[in-house]
Amino acid sequence: MTAPNSSERKACWEARDALWKCLDDNDDKVASCQRFQSEFESKCPAQWVKYFTKRRDFLKYKEKIQTDGFSPAEGSQQTS
C-alpha cells in the first residue's frame, strides 16, 4: 500500500470532518449519515478509517468524562 499524497489526505480529512459533523448534528445516528460514511470509507485508507473511528469514540468518551465526571460501573467494588 502506498501512502496517500497530499490531495488524497486532504480529501480523506474533509470526508472525515463531514461525517463527524453529520454525526454530531444527528446524535450519532449512523443511519442518518450513511452518505457521509460511504464517502469517508471510499476516500480514506481502511487503516485510517479504523483509527479515526476509534479516535472519535475516545474523544467523545473524554468529553463525557470531563463534563459529567467519572462514575464507576454498577457492581464494581472499591478496595482499600
pTM above 0.85, yes or no: no
What is the pLDDT at residue 79?
58
Report the interhelical angle of 6-25 vs 34-43 (nearest 10°).
160
- What are the b/e assignments for 65-78, b being 16+ CB within 10 Å? eeeeeeeeeeeeee
> What is the per-residue pLDDT across 29-79, written as a single tens digit (0 to 9) for each?
989 999 999 999 999 999 999 999 999 999 999 999 998 887 777 766 655
The residue type found at 56 is R
Q: Which grid coordinates are listed for 72? A: 464507576
State the average pLDDT for the chain. Answer: 91
**Can you say how many angstroms the Cα of residue 8 is from the centroid of all Cα atoms in its chain?**
19
What is the pLDDT at residue 23?
97
